[in-house]
Each structure stands twice: as C-alpha cells, then as structure tokens.
Structure 1
C-alpha cells in the first residue's frame, strides 16, 4: 500500500465519520411546502385524503393520472362528478371538463386560483387575498353551521370578492380583522354545476388529522351527487422514469451517493497527473572547440607572433577559395583577382588590397604589424561573406 493511497483512505474515513456524526445529530425537519401530492406524508400532502377518499365516496371514486383531454378522448362517459385539487391542467383539458359539465356532469375545483379557462367561461371572479395568519372556514347553509375548520398554518387567504347574481355562495372565510369573504361558490353551467373552493388546504394531512376536521371535508363533498366520481391527479410519470429517483428520495442513500461522487472526483483530480520518477537535469555538452580556439588565439597574442597568425589566416582563405569557389590560387596575379572579383562580387580595390596582404603574409622576411593582421582579417572575412 503506497503512501498516496493511505492519504486518500484517511481523508475518506474522516469525511465519512463527520457525515455520520452530522446524520446522528441531525434534527428531523418538517417539509411545509404545499405540494398537494397524494403520495406525500408531509403536512401539506394528500396522503390521508387519498387513503380515505374511497370511503368518502362510497367506493365510487376513480383516480386518473391521465390528462382530462387524453382521458375523455379515449372514454365516452355518462353523467359523473369531476374533482380537481390544485393540479396543473392544460387549456385543452379544461375545455374537456367544461364540455362534460355542460352535458350535466358536476365539477368541483379545489384551487387557490381560478383557472383562466374556467373564469372566462363562467364569468370573471376577482380573487381577494388576506394576509392573516389564522382564519376560519364556514358554510353559509345553516344545517352545517356547526361544522367549520380553523386554518392556523399558512392559509392562502384567497376568496372571491366579485360575485355575479346567479352565483351561489356556499362557504366563507371568517377573520378577526377583515370582513367575511366567499371561498366556496356554485355556478350553473349548461346542464351541470361547477363548484369552486379557493382554499384546498383543508384537504391536506395536517388538517384532516386534527379532530373534527374530517366533517368539514365530508360536508363540502356532500354537494356532489351520489354517482361515479373521477379525480384527476397531476401526472408525475415523467419524474418516475428517473433512474435515481429511489436513491435521491432516501436521505441516507442520497448522502452516500454524494459522498461517493465527491470521493470519485477527488480521486480523479489527484491522479490526473502522470506518475513518473523525477527526470534528472543533464547538462549539455560544452563546445570545447570554441574554448580551444580562444586559448590558441590568446597564446599567439601573448607571444606577439603576428606574422605567423597572418600567414595561417591567408592559408585558410586560399584553401576556401580553391574548394568553394574553384579558383586556382597558384598565381596571385591579375587573372586571379578578376576571377575572385567575378565570383564574390566585391570591388577590385578590396581584392587587390587583400592580395597584397596575403603576399606579405607568405613572405617569411616581411615585417608584419598588429594593424596588418587586423586589416587582413577584416578584408578576407568580407570577401568570403
């Protein structure tokens, strides 16, 4: 087991221990979101209502997860009741529901906001909003005057402030600081009726589990005739196809999944670089030829033998002329000067001056000065450029 793996193992164990401690000491939190989901056991889910609905409707209730548009296109129904509880229903489906009501069916809508498709068909109803933290739902019918429900947790405070003459008010919201407002109405539509309740919160788990509140729900649904009832539930089939739905729905599995992903990302991050031994730095080989030439040059300068250095420079120049320019250097005469001038393109004066200095370098008895060496070096380098 290498050192790196031990470090990863220690980090992973420490993270797991910290998460375990957090999980043990975590306080259970309550989800107060208004989801109106028949499968949710949270306070504002409809799990209790879903379980008791069959008894409430005397086993004459069908829960449909299709959109009303699809359902009614596939099924030809006689007169029946329709229930919608805070569901997101499309425009064409509302038209199908209203078509069924116009033929004699009844629809009960438990919605905090009147759908535009419905309000446009039956008349405009302005929804009034109250911000009181507590209100009471009551009936206007005297036979139900003792059946009421107190909303003490997040009431929507919605009601109907504009009521047309032909609309029957069945229920109202009573508040301490505000005047009563209608929350449960009945509208004649064609051969059927539309019932709208603006506070569906009374059907949630939190309120149905309180003693005495079930009676209010029973009274609301008693306005529907005793016949087949269809409850259109919002279709959540798109969520059920998600392959991670079970893991993410369980807190413990969800934490384990995120820890696994985090560990995997850390492992990939730290192992992204290629593992190899450190490459030693190798010094490049030095060009000793340059050092050698410098040493020889310094030696000649110290000895002061300018004549020998000038002769070697002239000898090297003539060798380059023979090899590179293919000019005979046996006789350094006028013919040689013309050929060199044609091959190099330099002026004839420069070439003649260089020839004079070359002959001086070849003469063992000639007196050579430092200036002669510098001059021949400049001229010969210029000619061979």
Structure 2
C-alpha cells in the first residue's frame, strides 16, 4: 500500500510539472490556412470579418453555416452580397443552380479561392491554372488594373504555386487584377442581372496581410467592387454546419484541451494495464488433514492410565485381542478351549507354550477384580509379542 501511494504521488508530481511546462512554454505559431472568421492565426479571417461593418456601413452581416441552397431558400432576397473566402470553392449541382439563380436575379457573389469546382468553371467559361516554375524570389506581386485605384503593388509570400485565370472566348468577363507575370487573378463575370467576382489569391484576405500596412488595402479595395448592401459571409465550406461542431472537434482545436484529452487517454490505458486486473485476497495454503489417530489413542490411554483403572484397560485390550483372533484365525471362544489354542498356535506359528501362557494370563485377569501395574505390563508385553510373530 505504501509503494502504491508513493507511485501515485510521483505520478501527480510529473503531471503537474508537465502541465506547468506546457502552460508557460512559448506557443508555436499556427500556420494553417483555415480562413475561418473566428481564427486569429495568421491565415484566419478574423480581422477582415470584424472590418465588414466598416466596409458595408449600416448593412446586416450574416454568417452562413448551411449549404447555399438552404440559405437562399430561407432568405431569397435581392440586392445582397455573398462572400466566399476559402482555399477551395466546392459545391454540388443543387447549390450551383441556386447560386446561379441568385446572381441572375441581380445579386453579387465574391469568391476568393485557389481552386474552383469543375462544373462551376465550365458554366462561367473560365479555368484556373497554376505556374509550377520555381520563382526567382520567394514572393510575387499582385495589383489592380483600374487606374483609378492607383498603381500600388502588393507583395505576397509564394507558399504555393501561383494560380491564374484563363478565359474562354464567349466568357463575358472584366479583368480587375493581375500578377507580376501579367496573368489574371481577379475578374468580374456578369451573369444575368448580377455579377460574380472571382479572385485566386485568398491569402490576401487573411489576418497576416490585412494587418500588414503594405497589404491592408488590397482586401478592402477588392471588396469595394461590391455594392453597399446586406452581406452573407459563408463559413459552411470551412466549418460545416452548426450541428457538426462536436465535442471532440472543440477539444482538438485548442492545444490545452487537446493535451488534457491525450493525457486522460494515456492514464486510462495505464489504469487498464496495471489496475484493471482481477484483485483479491491472498489465498492461504490449506494443509492436508493430519492423521490424529495415534494422538487420540495416546490421549485416551493417558486418561485411563492416570485414573489408575488398569482393569478397564486390560479388558479393552483383551476384547481387541479376541476380535483379532476371530478375524484372522476364525476362533470365537478359545480362552477355555485347549483344542482351539492348539489350532491358533498351528495357524499363527507361535509356540504352543507361549499361546497357553497368554490365555492363562487372560483368564487370570478376567477373574481378579484388580490388577497391578506389573500384570498390565505383562499382558501388554505378551500381546505385542503375539502380534509381532503373527505378522512376520
């Protein structure tokens, strides 16, 4: 029990030390490109989302956590901006039909993504391609074509291959921005009464660049093409529906909770390995029962001997001797029968004179009321001699 308590104390000290070290050590920067409006990491969109009320003054900002079809069926309003900022823009046929109909009614859709769904690009008549040449520098520049927006150049890190847009002949598109190679990365495609604004540089809308003084204007300038009207901000393609925010997803999203979850799992595994076994008291060793017959005989004999009742002891020994003769020599009453004594001597191999002396002593003891120690000793000696000779 003492060793068990010491082990628990050491385990508790180690756990406290681990928690302390984990709490005070510098937190590594999370460079994941989540584009989530609640993430304050470099490639989240928390800052831009907080700036939307300033970009679209006095307009309602709605965060969307459901598919496009569901959102537009619940709110089939006109004159709205629908903004998508993600690494990939993917949608099924039903969502695409709903989005196209939404734009055709006169609404605006802004999409910043590195890749788009194939059916969507085929419908609007554009293609996104990538340059796989190794850049001379680790950054590339982008800029707006409209001269009214100035000649400012924005430099972005080249973490991935640079995506650019190619248009088909029948596409009704307006070029809005290019990169250092002169390739399109920001266009507007009119569809019905509305417009699709497509941008292939979603990283420019993240916290890292919006907070940078050299790049902060790019996101605001790109969104300035949208009219001042209510905004739908999509989070469904990044976070999923509201019901998909499971407990484990929340735990794994935060490093302290994630560590606590992992430590709990390890502790449970250790408990199963070391304490999950069946435990019970030590089973005592059961010794086989000892043969107490001789001890019992010794106790009874001492009892008779201490009471000095030699006559009773002698009669019991004589009765046992006569039973012995009956079982081994088939003689029932040989005490006063000389012929029976001769048969016993012949069958047992004991001398006839010894047999006669033994039976004479038996008859004598049977007739006297009291016997002495010498008589009892003599009886015992002759009986033991008879037993010994008959067993040889």
Per the TM superposition, whether the score is higher than 0.5 is yes
Task: Select the residue among 232, 256, 259 that pairs with 2:260.
Answer: 256
Matched, 1:141 2:143: no
Task: Select the residue among 261, 280, 301 that pairs with 2:285.
Answer: 280
Task: Select the residue among 225, 232, 235 that pairs with 2:234.
Answer: 232
State the partner residue of 1:40: 39
Alpha carbons 2:111, 2:197 under 8 Å: kept? yes
Task: Select the residue among 205, 208, 228 that pairs with 1:206.
Answer: 208
Could you say if the C-alpha distance between residues 226 and 260 of structure 1 is closer, same or farther in structure 2, counting changes exceeding 3 Å?
Answer: closer
Matched, 1:171 2:177: yes
- How big is each residue's C-alpha offset from its partner over 1:171-190, in whole Å with a ceiling of 9 and x where there is no partner? 0111xxxx331101122222
User: TM-score scaled by structure 2?
Assistant: 0.64
State the partner residue of 1:120: 122
Alpha carbons 2:68, 2:99 under 8 Å: kept? yes
Question: What is the rounded CA distance, in whole Å, between the counterparts of 1:46 and 1:269 in structure 2?
Answer: 45
Alpha carbons 2:36, 2:44 under 8 Å: kept? yes
Q: Which stretch shows the higher mean deviation, 122-131 or 94-103?
A: 122-131
Could you say what secondary structure the match of 1:125 adopts? strand
State the partner residue of 2:62: 62
State the partner residue of 1:159: 164
Alpha carbons 2:104, 2:194 under 8 Å: kept? yes
Could you say what secondary structure the match of 1:48 adopts? helix
Question: What is the rounded CA distance, in whole Å, between the counterparts of 2:78 and 2:257 in structure 1?
Answer: 47
Name which one, 1 or 2, has greater alpha-carbon Rg.
2
Alpha carbons 2:126, 2:166 under 8 Å: kept? no
Could you say if the C-alpha distance between residues 257 and 194 of structure 1 is closer, same or farther in structure 2, counting changes exceeding 3 Å?
Answer: closer
Alpha carbons 2:42, 2:206 under 8 Å: kept? yes
The structural deviation recorded for 1:34 is 0.7
State the partner residue of 1:308: none
State the partner residue of 1:76: 76
Question: What is the rounded CA distance, in whole Å, between the counterparts of 1:260 and 1:225 in structure 2?
Answer: 52
Alpha carbons 2:90, 2:117 under 8 Å: kept? no
Alpha carbons 1:63, 1:231 under 8 Å: kept? yes
The structural deviation recorded for 1:17 is 4.5
State the partner residue of 1:346: none
Question: What is the rounded CA distance, in whole Å, between the counterparts of 1:24 and 1:236 in structure 2?
Answer: 32
Could you say if the C-alpha distance between residues 164 and 21 of structure 1 is closer, same or farther in structure 2, counting changes exceeding 3 Å?
Answer: same
State the partner residue of 1:6: 5
Question: What is the rounded CA distance, in whole Å, between the counterparts of 2:140 and 2:158 in structure 1?
Answer: 9
Runs of 5+ consecutive residues of structure 2 not aligned to the other structure: 292-392
Alpha carbons 1:149, 1:202 under 8 Å: kept? no
Alpha carbons 1:134, 1:155 under 8 Å: kept? no
RMSD: 2.8
Could you say if the C-alpha distance between residues 269 and 7 of structure 1 is closer, same or farther in structure 2, counting changes exceeding 3 Å?
Answer: farther
- How big is each residue's C-alpha offset from its partner over 1:4-32, in whole Å with a ceiling of 9 and x where there is no partner? 53243144134315514642563321111
